[in-house]
Amino acid sequence: MKPLWVLDNYLLERSTPQSGPTFAEALTQAGCDVSRHSFEPRGRKLSGELPSLAERAVMAYGSYAFVRHVLSSANPTVPRPGSYMQIENLSFHRFAAHLGDLLLNDDFHILPFGELKRRRSPPGDVFVRPDRVTKSFTGFPVKAGSFEYEMSCLERLSGVGLEELIVVASAKPIDLECRYVIADGKVVAKSTYGWAEGFTPSTATDIRCDEIAREVAGRDWQPDTVYTCDVALSEDRGRVVELNSFSCSGLYACDTIAVAEAVSACVADEYGMSVKE
C-alpha cells in the first residue's frame, strides 16, 4: 500500500517553488497518496475526515498542533513513522551540544525567563529565543535600551512563563538566510527565506551556507532521519541558526520533487515497504 501523507493546507502555502509542481502534486508524482485538510487549533477541528490510517505508512505535515492532532487520531498499536518531529532533539540546547562550533549564536547562555528578567540590562544588543523548538515566541534582537520593555512584552503578550528556558546571545549581522532539507544524511533541497516585504524565496543560496549544511548532514549525530537546517551568512561565514522539524517546516522555494522523493523513500524504508507499493 502506498505511503499516505496527511497535509495541512496552511503549511502547504509556505511552499513556493520557482518552477515545477506544488508539494502536494510532487508527492502524488512520487507515488504517494495525499489527504489535504485545514485545521482550526482552538476547536481542534479538522476539515474533512481522515482516511483510514491502519496498516499504512503515514506521514503528517503541518503545524505542530495539526501534526499532534493527526497523531492522536492514529491507532497506537500500528507501527509507523508518523512524523519527523523529534521535538527534544531539536531544542537549542540539544543540537548546540553537537553543533556548537558551527552555530551563529555560539556565545549563548541559557537561563530561565524569570532569571533573565531579574538580571540587569546587558551592555549591548542581544538576541533572544526560546530553547524549545515549539517556540512560545519567535526569536528577535533586543536593543540594550529597551531590554526591560521587551521582557515585559514577552511575559504579558506572549505568555512566557518564569520557568521557560531562554537562549540569549550577542546580536549578529545577517546578510542571507537559507533553509536546507536534510534526509538520511544528505542535503536534498535548499531555498533562501526571509520575512521582509517583497522578499521572494529562491534556490540561489550561497556556497558558504551550502558547505555548512553539508557539514551538518555529514555529522555522526543527527536529530532525526529528516529535518531542516537553517543557515545564515554572517560576516562572510555560513553559520547554523537552528534545526527544525521537517514535518512542521515551510519549504519556501525548495525543489518539491526532490523533497517528495527523498522523504517518501525514508518513510517507506522505515515502514519496510516500497514507495510504489
Residues 221 and 159 placed together within one structural domain of the fold: no
Residues 112 and 159 placed together within one structural domain of the fold: yes
Query: What nine digits make up the cell of 50?
Result: 481522515
Amino acid at 235: E
Within a domain: 188: yes
Q: Tell whether the model's pLDDT for residue 275 goes beyond 70.
A: no
Within a domain: 266: yes
Q: Tell whether the model's pLDDT for residue 80 goes beyond 60.
A: no
Q: Tell whether the model's pLDDT for residue 2 goes beyond 90.
A: no
Residues 263 and 214 placed together within one structural domain of the fold: no
Q: Are 155 and 113 in contact (CB under 8 A)?
A: yes
Within a domain: 101: no
Residues 183 and 239 placed together within one structural domain of the fold: yes
Within a domain: 277: no
Q: Are 4 and 32 in contact (CB under 8 A)?
A: yes
C-alpha distances out from residue 68 to 6, 23, 56, 104, 270, Å: 12, 21, 18, 30, 20
Within a domain: 201: yes
Within a domain: 76: yes
Within a domain: 100: no
Residues 182 and 142 placed together within one structural domain of the fold: no
Residues 70 and 141 placed together within one structural domain of the fold: no
The alpha carbon dihedral of 133, 138, 139, 145 has a sign of negative
What span, in angstroms and rounded, lies between the C-alpha atoms of 273 and 277?
7
pLDDT of residue 250: 94
Residues 75 and 125 placed together within one structural domain of the fold: no
Proportion of the chain above pLDDT 70, given as a percent? 95
Within a domain: 99: no
Find the domain containing 203 and state its range.
174-254
Helix (H) or strand (E) holding 110: strand 109-112
Q: What is the CATH number of the domain that holds 192?
A: 3.30.470.20
- The tens digit of pLDDT for each residue in 106-132 reads 999 999 999 999 987 788 899 999 999
- The tens digit of pLDDT for each residue in 160-196 reads 999 999 999 999 999 999 999 999 999 999 999 987 7
Give the number of domains in the chain.
Answer: 3
Residues 164 and 181 placed together within one structural domain of the fold: no
Residues 164 and 200 placed together within one structural domain of the fold: no
Residues 111 and 164 placed together within one structural domain of the fold: yes
